């Protein structure tokens, strides 16, 4: 029996409701895609006038780790889908709400496991047998020292709960441990003043890092072309699509991505982060939601990662092409080594618009010059304030090659004038 997706009318009794847990720039794009499909959108975040709140039907401001406050709003609104956009959430409350019959996207298990590096790393390496860097967990500075000595220097230390590279350090010698451990505790999420466990990992001198956007939906497992990116202090600064990869390596990457996303369960898009060294592919992390490096899909594909995520959890099909991994192979292996891939329109790039300052009156100019060239776009997120350095927008470009697209995207960013006085 085939069940068809039915969408009601916003602000009526038959509305299809989606509640966003987190209302940043990624949530804003999801909200826009939902609005296009006539879905009623409720946005939540810890601060007022967050980007997605500006395009939602209504919004609430709460501490997202406050389980009682989160449950109260969800029981009041009775959404058809609860869509997390951030890591710092009351995940135990989401698990309980799912047991009560609410639908968490892609699943409460996926959200809970990926919020905590310990849970997802054990799932990947122990349960699924995926290749990862060598690692161990530690709760004290002395334990970090012991693990680091076992793994050898350099190695990497991260809090088990954080985002955008916060609390992360590369340890090149033993004398750096005290300072790095203090940073991991200061910048961890969800600790509430308690000492936070950390993961200490072998440093993998990888050739490049990729994000493989993987969609689980009624269409099965579908991939976007691999995305390369540059990070500074754990924050995404540039991304491009496609990242060039040998066919055998791409095949390995897709197998890893399919295994981890199927194990997490549910429909939606997953940002699977992978390290590539030679012909080896290492699983790093996975986000059960649109990925910041995937903002390049706003220009590279007809359906961005946000549109794909929305289609997936609403139960709608994902248009894709069957791509074979090798040009020459035996007939019986052709289907085995093929993959469903979202069509890429052209080599494309994104450049995050980072600026520094202190203001609640941010203004933008120079857009006329920034947008003069063909195949360029800008997204300004509408963030209400800035203290220190913050990502305020993204510059997008297409080109004949990835190199040309990256050059154009950087030029667009450079021409945007941001006033933070």
d(C-alpha 82, C-alpha 309), whole Å = 13
Q: Are 241 and 300 in contact (CB under 8 A)?
A: yes
Residues 6+ apart with CB under 8 A from 269: 213, 214, 215, 289, 290, 294, 305, 308, 309, 312
The set of long-range contacts for 60-65, using a CB threshold of 8 Å and a minimum separation of 24, is 64/21, 64/22, 64/88, 64/89, 64/90, 65/89, 65/90, 65/190, 65/192
For residue 196 the two structure tokens come to: 């936070």
- Check 67, 165, 265, 357 and give the catalytic one: 165
- Check 65, 163, 359, 420 and give the catalytic one: 163
Confirm whether 117 is a catalytic residue. no
- Check 87, 209, 285, 413 and give the catalytic one: 285
Confirm whether 165 is a catalytic residue. yes
- Check 80, 225, 292, 413 and give the catalytic one: 292
Confirm whether 292 is a catalytic residue. yes
Q: Are 83 and 311 in contact (CB under 8 A)?
A: no
DSSP H helices in 174-304: 177-186, 247-264, 297-300
Confirm whether 368 is a catalytic residue. no
Q: Are 44 and 51 in contact (CB under 8 A)?
A: no
Q: Are 286 and 114 in contact (CB under 8 A)?
A: yes
Nearest alpha-carbon partner for 225 in 241, 236, 237: 241
Confirm whether 273 is a catalytic residue. yes
- Check 273, 311, 350, 379 and give the catalytic one: 273
Confirm whether 289 is a catalytic residue. no
- Check 348, 391, 393, 399 and give the catalytic one: 391
- Check 293, 304, 310, 348 and give the catalytic one: 293
Q: Are 66 and 90 in contact (CB under 8 A)?
A: yes
For residue 112 the two structure tokens come to: 């809970």
Confirm whether 388 is a catalytic residue. no
Catalytic residues: 163, 165, 273, 285, 292-293, 391
């Amino acid at each position: 029996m085939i069940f068809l997706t039915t969408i009601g009318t916003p602000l009526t009794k038959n509305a299809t409701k989606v509640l966003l847990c987190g209302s940043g720039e990624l949530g804003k794009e999801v909200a826009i895609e939902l609005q296009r499909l006539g879905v009623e959108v409720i946005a939540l975040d810890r601060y007022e006038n967050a980007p997605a709140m500006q395009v939602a039907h209504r919004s609430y401001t709460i501490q997202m780790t406050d389980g009682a406050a989160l449950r109260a709003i969800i029981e009041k609104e009775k959404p058809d889908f609860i869509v997390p956009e951030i890591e710092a959430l009351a995940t135990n409350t989401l698990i309980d709400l799912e047991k009560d019959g609410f639908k968490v996207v892609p699943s409460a298990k996926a959200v809970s496991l990926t919020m905590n590096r310990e849970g997802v790393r054990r799932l990947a390496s122990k349960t699924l047998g995926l290749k990862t860097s060598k690692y161990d967990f530690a709760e004290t500075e002395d334990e970090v020292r012991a693990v680091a000595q076992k793994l050898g220097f350099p190695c990497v230390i991260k809090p088990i709960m954080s985002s955008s590279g916060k609390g992360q350090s590369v340890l090149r010698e033993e004398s750096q441990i005290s300072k790095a451990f203090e940073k991991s505790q200061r910048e961890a999420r969800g600790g509430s003043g308690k000492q936070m466990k950390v993961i200490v990992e072998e440093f993998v001198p990888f050739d490049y890092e990729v994000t493989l956007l993987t969609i689980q939906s009624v269409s099965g497992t579908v991939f976007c072309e691999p995305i390369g990116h540059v990070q500074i202090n754990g924050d995404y600064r540039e991304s491009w699509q496609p990242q060039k990869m040998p066919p055998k390596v791409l095949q390995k990457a897709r197998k890893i991505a399919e295994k981890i996303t199927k194990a997490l369960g549910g429909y939606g898009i997953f940002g699977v982060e992978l390290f590539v060294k030679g012909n080896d592919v290492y699983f790093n992390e996975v986000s059960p939601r649109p990925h910041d490096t995937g903002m390049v899909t706003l220009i590279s594909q007809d359906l961005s990662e946000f549109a794909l995520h929305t289609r997936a959890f609403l139960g709608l099909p994902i248009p894709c092409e069957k791509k074979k991994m090798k040009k020459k192979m035996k007939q019986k292996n052709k289907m085995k080594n093929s993959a469903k891939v979202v069509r890429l329109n052209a080599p494309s790039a994104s450049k995050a618009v980072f600026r520094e300052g202190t203001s609640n009156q941010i203004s933008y100019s120079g857009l006329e010059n920034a947008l003069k060239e063909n195949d360029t776009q800008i997204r300004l997120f509408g963030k209400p304030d800035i203290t220190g350095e913050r990502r305020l927008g993204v510059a997008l470009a297409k080109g004949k090659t990835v190199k040309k697209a990256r050059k154009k995207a950087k030029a667009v960013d450079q021409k945007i004038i941001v006033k933070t006085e």
